[in-house]
Amino acid sequence: MLDKIVIVGVGLIGGSFALALKRAGQVREVVGIGRHPEALARALALGIIDRVCDDYADALNGADLVMLAAPVAQTGPILAALLPHLAPGTVVTDAGSTKCDVVAAARTVLGERVHQFVPGHPIAGSEANGPDAALAGLYQGKKAVLTPLPENAPGDVERVAAAWRACGAVMHQLTPEDHDRVFAAVSHLPHLLAYALVDDLAGKPHADMLFQYAASGFRDFTRIAGSSPEMWRDISLANQAALLTELDAYLAQLTAMRTMLAAGDGAGLHDIYANAQRARHEWQIAIEAGSTRAPIQENT
């Protein structure tokens, strides 16, 4: 049971965390703080938070846990703003989609107090944003990854993990480097590719005709291009090196397939398509099997 948590950025991710902890009866008071007064007022009206704070002194007073749920580029400035008011017993965590840059910012800003910061990333979301998109069940059965620091006390890591478990999440641990390498491939690259396609089509002279005939395949392929441009600009830059590695591999793959297509190499294309179909089918079976497993699974 947490006495007080602070949500910095009460949108889809922070708002869903608050709702889930409330539904589980695991928190007495949730306060919100952030850049957007209208979002905070809306979160208050929706019952996601109990109180809006205007300053970090008020927000952090007596807090057990602070959740940073803002675009990752704001991690440093937010930590700098809260540091003067950070009591020794308060644990800070985050929900950012990149971890190496977040850890670097935390070390720079927090210095020896970095032991109070436990980096995290819930593997759940939606292309929708804002407090109206928040759901108490968003994390139910989903993975939440922590990338603890050597300086973290085990009890502080456990405080964050316990909160995520109360939200229904399945806990995983990775190093920040492995985390960023993995998500560059399975999340950050697909976002960039989806944005690229929609922007490419929208710029063509016959864009209206194209969009008229776009159907369910296009809809699903481009769903993630409905995501926040600011958030994904920050993620792209924050994970620049790993994302460039994945993008270069993908460009090489596409270039090889272009050569096959230009040469009429149907066997070559068929091999790639069939391998992809098989791999995706196996992935889907594994994911579906995993979602029915026992909900606690620690990769330490």
243 binds a copy of itself (CB under 8 A): yes
- What part of residues 72-131 is at the interface with a copy of itself (CB under 8 A)? 123-126
226 binds a copy of itself (CB under 8 A): yes
Q: Using CB under 8 A, which of 62, 244, 295, 296 touches a copy of itself?
A: 244
- What part of residues 183-202 is at the interface with a copy of itself (CB under 8 A)? 183, 185-187, 189-202
Q: How far is the CB of 64 from a copy of itself (least distance, A)?
A: 28
- What part of residues 252-291 is at the interface with a copy of itself (CB under 8 A)? 253-255, 257-258, 261-262, 264, 266, 269-270, 272-277, 279-281, 283-284, 286-287
Q: How far is the CB of 155 from a copy of itself (least distance, A)?
A: 27
135 binds a copy of itself (CB under 8 A): no
Angstrom distance (rounded) from CA 287 to CA 80: 39
CB atoms within 10 A of CB 150: 6
Closest CA to 79 of 25, 44, 116: 116
Residue with Cβ nearer a copy of itself (28 or 204): 204
Q: Are 188 and 219 in contact (CB under 8 A)?
A: no
Q: How far is the CB of 70 from a copy of itself (least distance, A)?
A: 16
225 binds a copy of itself (CB under 8 A): yes
What is the contact mask toward a copy of itself in residues 163 to 182, using x (rule: CB under 8 A)?
---------x-----x--xx
Q: Using CB under 8 A, which of 1, 57, 153, 210 touches a copy of itself?
A: 210
Residue with Cβ nearer a copy of itself (111 or 287): 287
Residue with Cβ nearer a copy of itself (24 or 123): 123
Region binding a copy of itself by CB under 8 A among candidate stretches 6-14, 50-58, 61-69, 142-150: 142-150
Q: How far is the CB of 123 from a copy of itself (least distance, A)?
A: 5
Region binding a copy of itself by CB under 8 A among candidate stretches 1-9, 20-28, 49-57, 237-245: 237-245
237 binds a copy of itself (CB under 8 A): yes
Q: How far is the CB of 171 from a copy of itself (least distance, A)?
A: 13
Give the 3-state secondary structure of the chain.
CEEEEEEECCCHHHHHHHHHHHHCCCEEEEEEECCCHHHHHHHHHCCCCCEECCCHHHHHCCCCEEEECCCHHHHHHHHHHHHHHCCCCCEEEECCCCCHHHHHHHHHHHHHHHHHEECEEECCCCCCCCHHHCCCCCCCCCEEEECCCCCCCHHHHHHHHHHHHHCCCEEEECCHHHHHHHHHHHHHHHHHHHHHHHHHHHCCCCHHHHHHHCCHHHHHHCHHHHCCHHHHHHHHHHCHHHHHHHHHHHHHHHHHHHHHHHCCCHHHHHHHHHHHHHHHHHHHHHHHHHCCCCCCCCCC
